[in-house]
Amino acid sequence: MASAHGRIGLSRVSEGRLALSLPSRATPPGQRVLLRISNLNVTRFYTLGSMGVPMTLVGMDAKLLRGPDGKNLYYTTNSVTLGGGQVVDAIIDIP
């Protein structure tokens, strides 16, 4: 994915683990970035780590994370594991 100022990239940390890298000039500090992360491989699981920057998962498989009563079920994590064809929506606050 390209932006006006740089590239958002994934790098392999180990077998089955990926790390997300955002260029420091792509988004000013203090801003929020919404990422839609998808696993297009139907036979492998991948774990994506944000390497010290927590991400808030707000959606999964094109649905907001909300309970039957409408209460938000968002959660903050440093990694997420995606199965084949799975999609998550994550918000990252740029430090």
Q: What is the pLDDT of residues 2-27, one digit of tens each?
A: 334 444 555 555 555 555 666 556 67
Query: If DSSP codes are grouped into helix, strand and coil, which group holds residue 92?
Result: strand
Q: What is the pLDDT of residues 53-92, one digit of tens each?
A: 899 999 999 899 999 999 999 999 999 999 998 999 999 8
Cβ density class 11-42: b for 16+ within 10 Å, e for less? eeeeeeebbbebeeebbeeeeebebebebeee
